[in-house]
Chains A and B, each alone.
Chain A
Amino acid sequence: MIYKKEVYRRILDTYEKEMRPLIKELPCYLREDKELFRVKMHGLKGASRQLGKQEISDFAEQMEMAVRDDNMAYIYANIEYFLQVLESVLEEIASQRDAIPVIKKEVPQNYSINELFLELKKAFDSYNLKQIENVLSSLEEIKLNEAQTKLLQQLQEACNELEYEKGSQLLREIDEAVGGGKR
């Protein structure tokens, strides 16, 4: 599949950010929740295959099948190597992504910081991921105070995990703190 560069960058970036935490999480799932481990392997298989990363996709499929067959010996024998392969795929993806220049979004001139946060709240409320990403990238370009920086990090996490409701909630709190009429 052929993508325009910036589109391809977004896809690589999303994959890298989503799969990176799995390197730590998968061993935990394996200990605590085998079904979740299997579902994650299944998701990794599908997403990697769509991106053309066949080797890790096939490996994830083998791991998924092994869980289905309750062949835990296979999983324990291979999990470490699997994580190494995943790590190298993520490094490759990251370097491909970083080779594509980021097109900086212009920060809207007429907006105050609070207005940008309000825009962000609207975007979270309406489940509009693209708009959330746009406003977040605008906010990244602005010098924020400590509290705002912390909030921005939490909102980025909410965005990465598609926790729209959490994003709305975080912004509701700041909205109330700002006091509406002051904007």
Chain B
Amino acid sequence: MRYVSLKDAEPGMSLAYDLFDSYGRTLISSNARLTTAYISKLEKLGFDGVYIQDELSQGIEIEAVITPELRAEGLASVRTQNIDKCQDVAKDIVEQIASKGKLSLDLTDLRTFDDYTYAHSVNVAVYSCVIGLGLKLEADDLKNLVMASLLHDFGKMSIAAEIINKPERLSAEEFSIMKSHAERSYEMIKNRVGISAQIKQAVLYHHENEDGSGYPHGVDGSELSLYTKILHVADVYDALTSKRPYKRPYSPYEASEYLMGACDIMFDKRVVEAFLRYVPLFPMGTTVLLSDGREAIIYDNTGNRNLRPILKTMDGRILDLESSENLNITIITSTDETDAVTENAEKTRKQMVNPGKKFHIVAVDDMKSNLVQLDEDLKHIYDMTLLKSGVQALLYLKKNPYPDLFIIDIDMPEMNGIETAKKIQEMTKHQIPILFVTALCDRDTVMQCREVNAAGYIVRPYKLVFLKSEIKRIITGQSDID
């Protein structure tokens, strides 16, 4: 079987996997043939693609981590907020996953826009369980963890769909409502007997970060339980890889880069590492573009082949990227698409704010190598100005219009990044957000960044996906993970 996006789907193609609606009812069964009417209906429902079986995909077998029936049951129990039913589903999810000899997260979850929150909760439950197994949690802990995952977004269901699915930037008030969902979820379960305190804490704190920059209470990693840390990673991974009205889905490769880039800032590194052992960077059955211009399907990505898989080209030939004659061929990852997404945000902003002008970022670092790297990473999307010191940054501000964002290194001679930030804030009356990109990652530095109300903090070597996502969040107010 292989995955085809709906724009490439053709009448006559044979479905390899059942499709469900947001109530968990079967829409079209496997083995059914696609018709023009089906394709059009699926497009209207917001499906992105389907799994098909054909001659080209022979030999590609992808097993779901949980059965479609259990997934549908999970969807229904989350939708109806049936806590007792969620307990049963949690138990079944753990049993099904734990009984598998080999776990594969290759199968993309097929879902509509409408059922995002429900399908998301079930996916997060599956991912949490996989991480928990990787960290060798006991069966009872796994069950609690999966239960917390199923419950974590209950509070979102009391938030207006116009806010949840709003494609544009949320207003401050809307964002504050959105952020209240963790507390809302907690309120719904806090007095419930039979739900452990650990589950309740994980639900309340699933948006808290390791460095204390999360919400609702801004507690740091030392106060977060392992349940919470696992749920946080699973939640963000699924949010990143999902298609939303305001963003395209990240590929597993990009989402993995994001998770790694945010280790020790947002996530506990042990948890991320445990998860990434199971995440296929290029899932089986998906189509990829190669550096030589050909398209191919991922045929085998197991074990060491996660980075250099075996492929099947569109003419049916097998192509092993590990073999010496193919070492010059690479898989093109979709960072260009990431740029496109940010470019769309840029377009919206142009319309709203100042036509004909790009977002402008001023980067300040005493190492030119770091500045040039940032410039090359970001110049396609942003106007970049590169400055070598805090003093130069202040001089620049006196002579030029204010930029949209400062990216500042911390450890610089003469005037360090924290002092520079304070002076910039004084000069600009806190009008310009500041993102620190630095090789310093000790607790004192993090606290100093928080004291100057930094908009963000990224540790070098940064992952480009994470950096771009953070810049987008700060400048446009659109987060890829909320």
Contact = CB atoms under 8 A, between A and B. Distances in A.
Q: Is the interface of A mostly helix, strand, loop or mixed?
A: helix
A67 to B, nearest CB: 12
A19 B412 contact: no
A18 B385 CA distance: 18
Contact of A162 (B373, B388, B439, B462): B388
B443 to A, nearest CB: 15
A77 interface: no
B372 A45 contact: no
Contacts, number: 82
Interface in B363-422: 365-373, 375-376, 379, 385-388, 392, 395-396, 400, 409, 411-413
Contacts of A39: 366, 411-413
Contacts of B372: 10-11, 14
A1 B467 CA distance: 13
A42 B369 CA distance: 13
B373 A50 contact: yes
Interface in B446-482: 460-462, 464
B375 A50 contact: no
A161 B369 contact: no
A15 interface: yes
Interface size class of A (residues with CB under 8 A): 20 to 34
B375 A130 contact: yes
A87 B448 CA distance: 35
Contacts of B242: none
Contact of B368 (A36, A44, A160): A160
Contacts of B22: none
Contact of B411 (A11, A14, A43, A47): A43
Interface string A1-34: 1110001001100110011000000000000000
A147 to B, nearest CB: 27
Contact of B367 (A43, A52, A128, A129): A43
A51 interface: yes
Contacts of A15: 369
Interface string B430-448: 0000000011100000000
A50 B368 contact: no
Interface in A39-64: 39, 42-47, 49-52
B330 interface: yes
Given A130-B375, A162-B386, A162-B388, A11 B369 contact: yes
A127 interface: yes
Interface size class of B (residues with CB under 8 A): 20 to 34
Contacts of B368: 14, 18, 160-162
Interface string A100-132: 000000000000000000000000000111100
Contacts of A162: 368, 371, 386-388, 392
A106 to B, nearest CB: 21
A164 B371 CA distance: 15
B447 to A, nearest CB: 18
Contact of A46 (B330, B370, B396): B370
A161 B462 CA distance: 24
A91 interface: no
A161 B372 CA distance: 12
Given A50-B370, A50-B460, A3 B376 contact: yes
Nearest to A162: B388
A165 interface: yes
A24 B376 CA distance: 29
Contact of A42 (B387, B439, B464): B439
Contacts of A3: 376
B381 to A, nearest CB: 15
Contacts of A161: 368, 388
A52 B375 CA distance: 18
30 contacts: A2-B330, A3-B376, A10-B372, A11-B373, A11-B376, A14-B369, A18-B367, A19-B369, A39-B413, A42-B411, A43-B365, A43-B366, A43-B411, A44-B367, A46-B370, A46-B409, A46-B438, A46-B460, A47-B369, A47-B373, A50-B369, A50-B370, A51-B369, A51-B373, A52-B461, A127-B386, A129-B385, A161-B388, A162-B371, A162-B392
Given A2-B333, A160-B368, 10 more contacts: A3-B376, A7-B376, A14-B369, A15-B369, A18-B368, A43-B366, A43-B411, A130-B379, A162-B388, A165-B392
Interface of B: 330, 333, 365-373, 375-376, 379, 385-388, 392, 395-396, 400, 409, 411-413, 438-440, 460-462, 464
What 6 A-B pairs come out closest when comparing CB atoms?
A46-B439, A47-B369, A162-B388, A43-B367, A14-B372, A15-B369
